[in-house]
Amino acid sequence: MKLTLHVWRQKNAGARGGLVRYEVPNANEHMSFLEMLDVLNEALIEKGEDPIAFDHDCREGICGMCGFMINGKAHGGFKGTTVCQLHMRHFKDGDVIYLEPWRAKAFPVVKDLVVDRGSFDRIIAAGGFITAPTGGAQDANTIAVPKQAADLAMDAAACIGCGACVAACPNAAAALFVGAKISHLGHLPQGQAERDRRALAMVRQMNVEGFANCTNIGECEAVCPKQIPLEVIARTNGDYLKAAVGAGPEGAAGGTG
C-alpha cells in the first residue's frame, strides 16, 4: 500500500514547525500505525535524515505514552483505540494522512509529534493519591468494597493519561482526565480521607497548568481510548463544590468550569 504522509516536523520547543510531505511506498495492512512510522523512519535514517520523533512504550494500549492527531482526530478517531493499537488495514492504497502533535498550551511540543505532558504529572502530584496504609497484597480483601463502587472505580482507573481528551477539546480542558482520577479514588473507601483536599488541589493545579474550563462539549469522551464517560466530570464538580463550600473563599481558587 502506498501512502502520502504530511507530518508535523519541529526541531525543538522553540523552533518554528511545519508539515513535511513523505511518501511511504511499502506499508501493508498487517502493520500497526507505529510500525508504519518505524519503516518510514528507517528509510529516513538510511538517507541520513532526522527520523520523526513520536512517543511510545508498551505498544499495546496500556501505558498512555503514544498519541498524536491523525487527520485531525486524536489517536485517529477510532473507537476505544490508541495510536499503537491502530492497524493499517483501516487505511487504503493512495491515502493521504496528516499527522500533528496534541495542540494545547499545557502540552508544549518537545519535538515533532512529542509533547510534554508533565502538566498531567503535576496534577497527579497535587492530589491524585491516597495516604491510607493499605498493607501488603494479602491485606487487599480486608476492606470490603461494594461491587458497584469497585466497578465504577475500576472503570475510571482505566484512564492511561494519554492526553487525547485535552487534544480533542476545543477548550483544551483536562476535565475528563482529572475526573477519571477523582472518580477512581473517590469511589473507594481508602480514598475518602483526602477526598475534599484532592478535589481542591487537583482542580487548582489544572487551572495553574493552563487547561481551560469544561463546557460540556463531549469531544473528550468521543476520542478517549479507554472510553471514560463524561459522568466523571460531574463527579469532579460535585466533589469540588462540596469541598469548596467547606473550605470557604481561601480554598476555592479557580473552579471546574
27 vs 86, beta carbon nearer ligand SF4: 86
Q: Hey, what's the cell of 114?
A: 512529542
The site partner of 226 among ligand SF4, ligand FES, none (C-beta below 5 to 8 Å per kind) is: ligand SF4
- Of 129, 112, 128, nearest to 120 by C-alpha is 128
State how far the Cα of 156 lies from the Cα of 159, in Å rounded to an integer. Answer: 6
Q: Is 107 a binder of ligand SF4 (CB under 6 A)?
A: no
State how far the Cα of 62 lies from the Cα of 158, in Å rounded to an integer. Answer: 9
Q: Is 164 a binder of ligand SF4 (CB under 6 A)?
A: yes
- Of 204, 208, 186, 180, nearest to 255 by C-alpha is 204
State how far the Cα of 257 lies from the Cα of 247, in Å rounded to an integer. Answer: 18
Among 86, 114, 175, 228, binds ligand SF4 (CB under 6 A): 228
160 vs 188, beta carbon nearer ligand FES: 160
Angle between the N-to-C axes of helices 231-251 and 195-208, in degrees from 0 to 180, rounded to the nearest 10: 90
What is the 3-class SS of 46-59, one letter each residue? Answer: HCCCCCCCCCCCCC
The site partner of 61 among ligand SF4, ligand FES, none (C-beta below 5 to 8 Å per kind) is: ligand FES
* Shortest distance in whole angstroms from residue 85 CB to ligand FES: 7
What is the chain's percent helix, strand, coil content, to nearest 5?
A: 40, 10, 45
SS3 category, 218: coil
Q: Is 87 a binder of ligand FES (CB under 6 A)?
A: no
Among 59, 73, 103, 197, binds ligand FES (CB under 6 A): 59
Among 58, 140, 143, 193, binds ligand FES (CB under 6 A): 58
- What is the footprint of ligand SF4 within residues 170-189 (CB under 6 A)? 176-177, 180
127 vs 163, beta carbon nearer ligand SF4: 163
Judged by the rule CB under 6 A, the positions of this chain that interact with ligand SF4 are 159-165, 176-177, 180, 224-226, 228
Judged by the rule CB under 6 A, the positions of this chain that interact with ligand FES are 56-59, 61-66, 82, 84, 160
